[in-house]
Amino acid sequence: MNRHYLLSVLALVSLVGCGEKDVTKLTPKDEVSVLQEAFPATPGAAAAEAPQAYTAYAFGGTAEPSAYVEAAATAIKVNDHASAIFILQNLNSKTNLSGKQYMAIHEGMQVLQADLIRRAERGDAKAKQDIEVLKSKLRLH
């Protein structure tokens, strides 16, 4: 637990020291690259391409961290930002992640949330639906 706390503090300090990125200018596709860089694919990691495969990573699973990133990337590709956010939240609960990985996860969630808000403000029905899904699931936990 102390190691997790220390890594979180170090990630926060390095984030503040380097200056924050403006997540409102980043796109979810940009963020996929950042996440994939922070979590290089491991040999034999299964691709989660079908919805039933990638959503399995949203609330459980014990796969390698890179598999969660690939599942989130698939969710982003098919415009399922709510599932991508849940997948990243689940990945965030894993242990033995580096400060860079924690920062990539948090930035990824911020970028996805900012994109959903922008799209919902323009009347995008799917974005509004994803926001409602996020609200309902977050109340349950």
Residue ranges per domain, the chain?
Answer: 2-140
For residues 67 and 45, the answer to whether their CB atoms sit within 8 Å is yes
- pLDDT tens digits, residue range 46-104? 555 544 577 777 777 777 888 889 889 999 999 999 999 999 999 998 878 999 999 99
Task: Give the whole-number percent of the chain exceeding pLDDT 90.
Answer: 41
Farthest CA pair distance, the chain: 44
Helix pair 2-18, 99-121: axis angle to 10 deg: 60
Average pLDDT on 102-123 reads: 95
Length of the chain: 141
- Cβ-in-10-Å burial (0-12, 13-18, 19+) of 84 comes to buried
Note the pLDDT of residue 80.
92
Amino acid occupying residue 60 = G
Please indicate, yes or no, whether the overall pTM of this predicted structure exceeds 0.75.
Answer: no
Report d(CA 53, CA 19) in Å as an integer.
36
Task: Retrieve residue 116's tokens.
Answer: 């959903």
